[in-house]
């Protein structure tokens, strides 16, 4: 698995999920694009589901990533009404 390809996909995925960009995600992600960098994981699919629940254009209120050896851990949180419950 090419490391550069994996890192590029991870960065794109974090951007889509953090920004709530469902349309861009769906335009670029297909079975082949998930298999190429080795990212056909339940975690990415869970984040796509959470993006859909949050709604198109709904940015994540909290985003953090950690590079761990050969993989990236990502964390996203959406708060109803935003961080302050507004």
Q: Work out the end-to-end distance of the chain between its first and last CA atoms, rounded to an integer number of angstroms.
A: 44
4-40 tens-digit pLDDT: 767 788 889 899 999 999 999 989 888 887 777 665 5
47: number of Cβ within 10 Å: 21
For the entire predicted model, the pTM comes to 0.78
H or E, element range at 64: strand 62-68
Q: What's the CA dihedral at 64, 68, 70, 71 to 10 degrees? A: -30
Q: Over the Cα atoms of the chain, what is R_g?
A: 13
């Amino acid at each position: 698995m090419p490391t550069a390809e994996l890192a590029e996909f991870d960065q794109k995925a974090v951007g889509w999920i953090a920004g709530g960009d469902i349309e861009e995600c769906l335009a670029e992600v297909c079975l082949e694009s998930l298999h190429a960098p080795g990212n056909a994981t339940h975690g990415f699919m869970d984040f796509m589901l959470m993006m859909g629940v949050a709604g198109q254009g709904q940015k994540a209120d909290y985003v953090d990533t950690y590079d761990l050896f050969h993989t990236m851990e990502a964390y996203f949180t959406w708060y109803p009404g935003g961080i302050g419950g507004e």
